[in-house]
A and B are shown apart, each in its own frame.
Chain A
């Protein structure tokens, strides 16, 4: 048979975001795939060298559109490490609750994307509705639905309003009470098993060699989570598990995502019980117009909903950063693991594999 070169291009119904893959096919089977990023490149790391330390926060949010909160967190952690600032106790608890809320919202968005691509419109509508209830909570706390600029070096911007934790607990009970219906309709459905089992297999030896992180590693039985390895914020004060599966295919990855979401909801309840009621939420930083951070370099990492997120930052004693480099989890998954996992699959499964590897294109291009 003859070989044909196809563009699985940016304008496609099975593509999430603005990303393109060049496929070499023979009939309906893929022989070779090569990823083609760059449609969303803005040159963040160069733009951040021309704005002061505090002026960079609105830019940092927009690196990952689905979940901007962990980007603010990692940038704040880098600045705090260089300048030697400590976060007070209540600020740490508030940061943990805020990041876990963002994790639940991001997993619901991933459930929408996967169900929409497979054709399960009922579950897609449910997932978007429940995510919207959480966005209402974010709007009450910070004032905006999508890009909330809430974390700053030294703590958070303001304290929780009165009665916020009661309303948050009520919303989470409403979402959690619907999980048996999600299970019966989607995750334990025989059709979903047949469409996702055995697709896009990544074996253990391949995953370690190609640098996979996040749910791709958790689906082959390894517990690799930065919240346990290098605890930041208030994660060393609560007790939680890391859910894993064995199998390494798309089905195991989706189930690992569902278990992670349920574990996050339980963790928010435990954090709210242990949070101190009084205390400061932010340490004072110098005047932002004249703040010069001492010279040095720092490498910090945290766990976003897609995997391990790292930041390498260099300062030369001025009022602007000298070099900033983000190491996002989608960089490995979208460029190295995807090209290996697509060999031998059929064209109809490309969207399936891409969404189950949890790739978000703005994170690759920055």
Chain B
């Protein structure tokens, strides 16, 4: 059977050179054959994503968020990969995924939306808004996606205690028998 020959890191190292020369305050490392991690400041995230899309990475995989409560910062993660360019054979960049990371402050948590570049980021940003409390400017509808009620602290942050919440809300409701005996 024809084995798919991996061309090594040639395209990834080319991309690394181009990114290092084009942007400042950027830090790239390649941990293995098909992953590249780019850490940068928050003002250059949009232009890096536009550059990667023109280079061929047109499949947007996910937006995620980490809560580093000890540093008092949120960390936003963007992961992109590629569909195949032509229909006949697999090219080299389909195997790789690129992770772009940036940090924003935890008190005033806001960032800019990337819907104009990748259209399917809309529900991901809605979910991060209701679970972590980050405001995305320019998003057309930031209404709740899955939750049914409001919480004082957004539920996925590290200072939200689930056991205490369950005890205060669901544990305090009495059973029917207790209500009937309490009435009499």
Do A and B interact? yes
Q: Are the CB atoms of A336 and B90 closer together than 8 Å?
A: no
Q: Does A343 contact B (CB under 8 A)?
A: no
Q: Are the CB atoms of A336 and B156 closer together than 8 Å?
A: no
Q: Does B76 contact A (CB under 8 A)?
A: no
Cβ-defined partner of A323 (8 Å) among B66, B123, B147: B66
Which residues of B143-173 are within 8 A (CB) of A?
Answer: 145-148, 155-156, 160, 162
| Count of chain A residues near B, Cβ 8 A | 37
User: Given A208-B83, A223-B87, A323-B66, are A299 and B95 also a contact pair (CB < 8 Å)?
Assistant: no
- Closest residue of chain B to A326 (Cβ to Cβ) is B62
A37 to B58: give the CA distance in the assembly, Å. 27
Q: Does B175 contact A (CB under 8 A)?
A: no
User: Given A50-B162, A224-B84, are A325 and B62 also a contact pair (CB < 8 Å)?
Assistant: yes
Q: Are the CB atoms of A38 and B145 closer together than 8 Å?
A: yes
A265 to chain B, nearest CB (A): 19
A148 to B147: give the CA distance in the assembly, Å. 30
Cβ contacts under 8 Å, B12 to chain A: none
A301 to B122: give the CA distance in the assembly, Å. 22
A236 to B2: give the CA distance in the assembly, Å. 10
Cβ contacts under 8 Å, A236 to chain B: 3
A41 to B147: give the CA distance in the assembly, Å. 8
A173 to B77: give the CA distance in the assembly, Å. 47
User: For chain A, what secondary structure do more than half of its interface residues adopt (helix, strand, loop), or is it mixed?
Assistant: mixed
- Closest residue of chain B to A331 (Cβ to Cβ) is B123
Bitwise interface map of A from 43 to 62 toward B, beta carbon under 8 Å scored 1, else 0: 10111001000000000000
Cβ-defined partner of B83 (8 Å) among A222, A230, A239: A222
User: For chain B, what secondary structure do more than half of its interface residues adopt (helix, strand, loop), or is it mixed?
Assistant: mixed
Q: Are the CB atoms of A229 and B94 closer together than 8 Å?
A: yes
User: Given A228-B4, A239-B1, A331-B123, are A45 and B87 also a contact pair (CB < 8 Å)?
Assistant: no
- Closest residue of chain A to B124 (Cβ to Cβ) is A331
- Closest residue of chain B to A239 (Cβ to Cβ) is B1
Cβ contacts under 8 Å, B77 to chain A: 312
A78 to chain B, nearest CB (A): 13
Q: Does B181 contact A (CB under 8 A)?
A: no
A114 to chain B, nearest CB (A): 25
Q: Does B48 contact A (CB under 8 A)?
A: no
Q: Does A65 contact B (CB under 8 A)?
A: no
- Closest residue of chain A to B123 (Cβ to Cβ) is A335
Q: Does A209 contact B (CB under 8 A)?
A: yes
Q: Are the CB atoms of A230 and B95 closer together than 8 Å?
A: yes
